Amino acid sequence: MTTTALSDFSPSVLRPTSHQMSKRPAMPAQRRRMILEILRQQGSVTVDEVQEQFGVSPMTARRDLALLARRGQARRTHGGAVLPELAAHEDSFDSRVGQDVEAKQRLARAVANTIMPGETIFVDSSSSGYYAARELVTAGLAITLITNALPVMALLCDAQDTPVELIGLSGRFRRANQSFVDPQTVRAIERFSADRVIFSVKGIAPDGSLTEPDPQEATVKRAMIHRARKAILVAAGEKFSERGANVIAPAATVDTAYLVDPPQAGVERLEAAGVTITRV
């Protein structure tokens, strides 16, 4: 697998040099126009990015994003903002886990059949990841699961006499997605080296980019991909017509994609990026 450093995804759009900032700091109106241009180019921006790129305080960065939100030019998120048109509704875990159940079960069985005893596996907070974890627990394989997903943790807590070892990742709890996501979660991931990561995404963009609505969920998934020897994507065909505001990683970081009813054009894009496709 081609691995990519986390820093490779750090936005650099319109980043002024330190000399430029110290010589002529941007006026508030000019700075907000530049922030809006960054949003239009990359779909999202964080408070930390605004602070770093423009040399302003966190309070000023938040004020700028809040003003853009009041004007309808952005939508505030935890820690940043996204374009309104890209801020698609992120369904709760409870609603997603009951959708496309048969397809997710097929994906879970296909992936579980490839797992060997003794492996260490990251599982993300997607509902498809939950079904994969459930299938692995049912199979009774002596493996280690590392996850930030509370439903997967609960699954292991309820399992009787299972040889599966659980490592739970902590951090800030996102109630809607029932997951732990913040810098603490990422730091914990970076202490491990896994054989695989099993994950899903909100959407696959036309250029093959894997996307997610929430920036912190995207960061956690990116960290898991970076620390796994193989990246296993599980997705249904509709993922090719959906898109989140935040890029997780390019398609080239995926080793194998298990897909249900994928469009041929989408398959060809992934194959062109070096991804092995398994239709389920």
Q: How far apart are CA 149 and CA 170, in angstroms?
A: 9
Listed range (43-52, 86-95, 135-144, 235-244) with the worst mean pLDDT: 86-95
Listed residue (175, 173, 138, 168) closest to 152, CA to CA? 168
Q: What is the pLDDT of residue 242?
A: 83
Task: Specify the 3-state DSSP secondary structure of 194.
Answer: strand
State mean pLDDT over 40-58: 85
Q: What is the pLDDT of residue 243?
A: 81
Instruction: Give yes or no for a contact between 201 and 231, defined as CB atoms under 8 angstroms apart.
Output: no
pLDDT at 5 over 90: no
Residue 61 phi/psi, 5° resolution? -60, -45
Fold of 6-86: Arc Repressor Mutant, subunit A (1.10.10)
CATH classification code of 93-279: 3.40.50.10470
Top mean pLDDT of 12-16, 88-92, 267-271 is at: 267-271
- The CA angle 160-122-145, to the nearest 5 degrees, is 20
Q: Classify residue 264 as exposed, middle or buried by CB count within 10 Å of its CB (0-12, 13-18, 19+).
A: exposed
Q: What is the pLDDT of residue 115?
A: 97
pLDDT > 70: what percent of the chain? 86
Q: How far apart are CA 171 and CA 103, in angstroms?
A: 31
> Around Cβ 27, how many Cβ atoms within 10 Å?
9
Listed range (35-44, 96-105, 110-119, 271-280) with the worst mean pLDDT: 35-44
Domain boundaries, the chain: 6-86, 93-279
Q: Looking at this protein, which amino acid is placed at residue 240?
A: F
Fold matches, 6-86 and 93-279: no
Q: How far apart are CA 131 and CA 137, in angstroms?
A: 10
Q: What is the pLDDT of residue 98?
A: 77
Residue 195 phi/psi, 5° resolution? -75, -40
State mean pLDDT over 96-118: 91
